[in-house]
Structures are given as structure tokens and as C-alpha cells.
Structure 1
Amino acid sequence: MLLRLEALSKRFGRDWVIRDLSLSLDRGEVVALLGPNGSGKTTLLRLMAGLLKPTRGRVERQGHALFLPNPPAFHRHLTAREHLLFDLAFHGAAGDWEGALKRFGLPAELPLAAFSSGMKKRLALARLTLLRPDLWLLDEPETALDQEGRALLQETIREARKGASVVLATHDRALAEAVADRAVWLGAA
């Protein structure tokens, strides 16, 4: 088992965002988190990534997880090449950064200040394919992507499941149906 949530709950102030959620995830599985804005999808991803501590319950995770926030965060003065080379060096990984940029249709030497939101999302996906985490945590990965980018996203998620697991928070039911093995509905608490 790659990930297990046991009676997970998170409260901010007096408001419960997540209450008593239990879930397990095996390697190679894709789970979609669905629900309205404010239902706790992003909070749940952040708990899974270890970026937040639960109010109650437990998160057990094996392997390395990477969280792709929406929107992805990058240093605007660096180029796509510089970002990917930094990520590879930081994680002690090796990878074909040139091939990743080509696959995702991105220029190597353009500063990210000149990137559109969709280009930044493609760069975040390129980063994940290079670093190959065990657990991909994607927050609305389809946002800002054009039709070609959405097709590339689906292809990337399908490829990721060969060696990893994916949890994606989305409002796009068509995406969830296309790539997920199962869906978890989060309603407003």
C-alpha cells in the first residue's frame, strides 16, 4: 500500500474541512477527488503531501510524493531549462530534460515571466515526469490547458500509473472518467 488515510480530519479554526476520511491507495492506481469549491480537495492533497498536519487521524505514506499546486509555483526569472536542471540536481536525479521540454512543447531558454499559465502547467508536468515520484498529487491539473494540453495530461497520467500512483483534485468529470480508477466525492463539511 502506497498511501493510507485513517479517520483523517482537518479543522481550520472552528470549521471542519475534512472529517473522518479513510482511504487507501495502491501503486498504479489513479484516484480523482471531486467536489465543489471549498469541499477540501486541496486541503486533502496538502495533508497527503505532508504539507499540513491533520487535526485528527493519520496519513501513512511510502515513497516520495510530489504536489503540483494550482497554479504551479516557479521563479519567474529562471528559464524552463534552469528550473528542470535545478530540480534534477536538488533531487539527485538524472533525466532527459531536453526531451521533456520537447515533449511538452516548451522553449528551453525563455524566462518563465513570459510563460502563459498553460505553459507553466506543462512545465510542472514535465518536472513530474523527470523526477518520477511514487505519488503524484495534482491540484486541478487541467486548469489553463488547451485541448492539446489536456490530451497530453491524460497521456501523462496514464503513463505515470505504470510506476506510481496519482491523486488528482478536479472539477472536470470527463477527465476523472478518462483516467481514474475511482473517484472520492468531498462535500462541504
Structure 2
Amino acid sequence: MLLRLLGVSKRFGRDWVLKDLDFSLERGEVVALLGPNGSGKTTLLRLMAGLLKPTRGRVERLGRALLLSNPPAFHRHLTAREHLLYDLAFHGREGDFAGALRRFGLPEGLPLQAFSSGMKKRLALARLLLLAPEVWLLDEPETALDAEGRGLLLEVLKEARGKGGVVLATHDRALAERVADRALTLGEA
């Protein structure tokens, strides 16, 4: 098991976003988080990543988890090459950043302020692939991707499944049905 939530609840002010949630992620598994806006999908991913603490309950991460937020966060004045080199150094990893940029069709020397939303999403996927976490937490990974980018996403999800586990929040039921072993729907009574 890579990730387990035991009785997790999260409250913001007086509003409960999640209540008494139990969940586990096994190695090789892809789980889709479904639900309308405001149902707690992003909050749940942030709890899983350790970026938020639960109000009640416990989150156990048995593998290294990284979150691809929507939209992904980058420093606009750095280049894609600089970002990947920084991330590799920060996480104490080595990797073929130039090969990753070529695979995702991204220029090395262009500042990110010149990137489209789809290019930034591709860079975020390249970063995850290079950093190779055991637990991939993806918040609407298909957003802003064109047909070629969606093809790359499917390839990356297959690779991630082989190395660990994936939890992805999406509004795209067709994507969920195509890649997920099971779905967790939030916001239903």
C-alpha cells in the first residue's frame, strides 16, 4: 500500500469539505476522483500530498507523493530547462531533462512567461516523470492539453502505474473510464 486515509475529515471555518473518509491506494493502481466543483477533490489531493492537515483522522504516505496542481505553478522568468534542473537538484535526483523536454515538445531556452497553458501542463508532466514519485497526485491533468498532449498524458499515466500509483481528479468521465481501475465520487450524500 502506498497511501492510506483513515477517517479523514477536513473543515474550513464551519464548512465540512470532507467527512470521515477512508481510502487506500495500492501499487500499480489508478484511482479517479470525480465530483462537481466544490466537492473537495483538490482539498483531498492536498491532504494526500501533505500540503494540508486533516481536521480529524490520519493520512499515511508510504511512498513519496508529488502533486500536479491545476494550473501548475512555475516561476515565469525561468526557462523550462532551468525549472527541471532546479527540481532535480532540489529533490536530489538526476535525470535526462533535455530528453524529457524533447519528448514533451518543449523548448529549453524560452521563459515560461511565453508558454501557453498547455505547454505549462506538459512541463509539469515532464517534471513528474523525471522526479519519479511513488504516488502521483494529479489535479485535472487533461485541462489545457491538445490531442497530442492528451496522448502524452495517457503514456505518462501508464508509466506512472508501472512505478507506483496515481490519484487523479477529473471532470472528464471518459478519461476516468479509460485509465482508472476505480473511481471515488465526492459530493454525494
TM-score bracket, shorter-length normalisation: over 0.9
Percentage of matched positions with identical amino acids = 79
Number of residue pairs matched?
189
- Name structure 1 gaps, 5 residues minimum: none
Deviation string, structure 1 residues 104-123 (Cα, Å, up to 9, x no partner):
01000000000000000000
Does the CA-based 8 Å contact 1:154-1:178 persist in structure 2?
A: no
Does the CA-based 8 Å contact 1:135-1:164 persist in structure 2?
A: yes
Deviation string, structure 1 residues 38-83 (Cα, Å, up to 9, x no partner):
0000000000000001011110111211011100000000000000
- Which 4+ runs in 1 deviate beyond 4 A? none
Determine whether 1:49 maps to 2:49: yes
Deviation string, structure 1 residues 117-147 (Cα, Å, up to 9, x no partner):
0000000000000000010100000110011
Task: Report the aligned-residue RMSD.
Answer: 0.9
TM-score (norm 1): 0.98
- Alpha-carbon distance in 2 for matches of 1:174, 1:98: 32
Deviation string, structure 1 residues 6-56 (Cα, Å, up to 9, x no partner):
111001011110011101111111000000000000000000000001011
- Alpha-carbon distance in 2 for matches of 1:187, 1:89: 39
Alignment of 1:38-187 (within 5 A): 38-187=38-187
Does the CA-based 8 Å contact 1:38-1:188 persist in structure 2?
A: no
Deviation at 1:154, TM superposition (A): 1.1
**Matched letter for residue 21 of structure 2:** L
- Alpha-carbon distance in 1 for matches of 2:141, 2:129: 14
TM-score (norm 2): 0.98
- Alpha-carbon distance in 1 for matches of 2:188, 2:101: 39
